[in-house]
Structure 1
Amino acid sequence: MDENLEINVAGDLPAITEAKDAIEAFCARRDVPERVTLSLSLAVDELLANVVNHGGQDPGAIPDIRLRVRLEHNQLVTELSDSGQPFNPLAAPPPELDLDLDDKPIGGLGIHLVRQLMDDVQYRREGAYNRVTLRQRLNPAD
């Protein structure tokens, strides 16, 4: 059985659903706990939506998006790379959750959610690519 899931993701919103479905099938075949699968699916949804909606270098440009998921030492490791404009999601300040709804700036909650869902989130820029690595332990005690 192949231990990795590797897919190219089209730069449109329907492709996000296809990527999430592929992740969920990959996790189901490997008996990954449902809470881990759902957390990863939600985090990937948020990151892919950011790339699709905001990642183009030029108006109308579709970035090259690649997704890789693997099991490694009792954790899921997910690597998302895209050729969009440089964007480090970890540089975004945490949202001010105690502000009134009318005073909250738009954006930033999704990245905050990704940070909360994953055990580890890392970013690096390599050449023309943004690379985000997510790590999620299969068992919280590990």
Structure 2
Amino acid sequence: MRSIKLTIRNDPADLSVLRETLDRFGAEQGIPGKALFALQVVLDEIVSNVIKYAWPEGGAHEVLVRLAADDTAVRIEVVDDGRPYDPREAPAPAQAAPGSRPRPGGVGIHMVKQLVDGFEYERVDEYNCVRLTKRCIVGARSQTEGPNDKRRA
């Protein structure tokens, strides 16, 4: 299994470093384009929520992100020392009555659940640990891509 670890600050500006790291990891590992796009959305949503909500008292904190890939899947782990929160328990987004606005929130985690094949949470000591799995064939190009094609299926 190939893996990398990245620690970012609880600062929205650090999301760009995380995005670049995932893009580079995806290219190096040959993660298919559709799977990489899903992982970009998922990682951005989970880490954005951690940055926004894990520390209501504020202050400087760190978020640890591990990316790992083998031949059949990509795994992401996000670890923070924020208040305990299991994102799997987020309520489904409310459907708005015709002519009214839906309540804000809840759509992102619902989308994460739809985009990944595995979604786990546990509280270990004083840390939230979210583990996500996206099954895909890693390192293989689609049959329609040529050797110089940068896109992934």
The answer to whether the aligner puts 1:19 opposite 2:7 as a matched pair is no
* Deviation sequence 1:83-127 (CA, Å, 0-9, x none): 111111111121134645744222111100110111111111111
Equivalent-residue separation in structure 2 for 1:6 and 1:89 (angstroms):
22
Report which structure shows greater RCO (CA 8 Å, sep ≥6). Answer: 2
Conservation of the 8 A alpha-carbon contact between 1:4 and 1:69: yes
Mapped contact 1:68–1:79 kept (Cα < 8 A): yes
Q: How does 1:71-82 map to 2 (within 5 A)?
A: 71-82=69-80
Partner residue, 1:138: 136
For residues 89 and 52 of structure 2, the distance between their equivalents in structure 1, rounded to whole angstroms, comes to: 19
How many matched pairs? Answer: 137
SS in 2 for 1:35: helix
Taking structure 1 as the reference length, the TM-score comes to 0.88
Shift of 1:47: 0.7
SS at match of 2:49: helix
Q: Write the mapping of 1:83-122 to structure 2, written as runs, cut at 5 A.
A: 83-97=81-95, 99-100=97-98, 102-122=100-120
Q: What does 1:39-58 correspond to in 2, within 5 Å?
A: 39-58=38-57
**Partners of 1:100 and 1:53 in 2: CA distance:** 31
| Range that drifts further, 14-23 or 90-99 | 90-99
TM-score by length of 2: 0.82
Q: What letter is aligned with 1:71?
A: A
Aligned partner of 1:50: which letter?
N
How high is the sequence identity, in percent, across the aligned residues? 26
Distance 1:62 1:108, change over 3 A: farther
Gaps of at least 5 residues in structure 2 are 138-153
Report whether the alignment pairs 1:61 with 2:59: yes
What's the secondary structure of 1:115's corresponding residue? helix
* Superposition RMSD in Å: 1.8
The answer as to 2:126 corresponding to 1:128 is yes
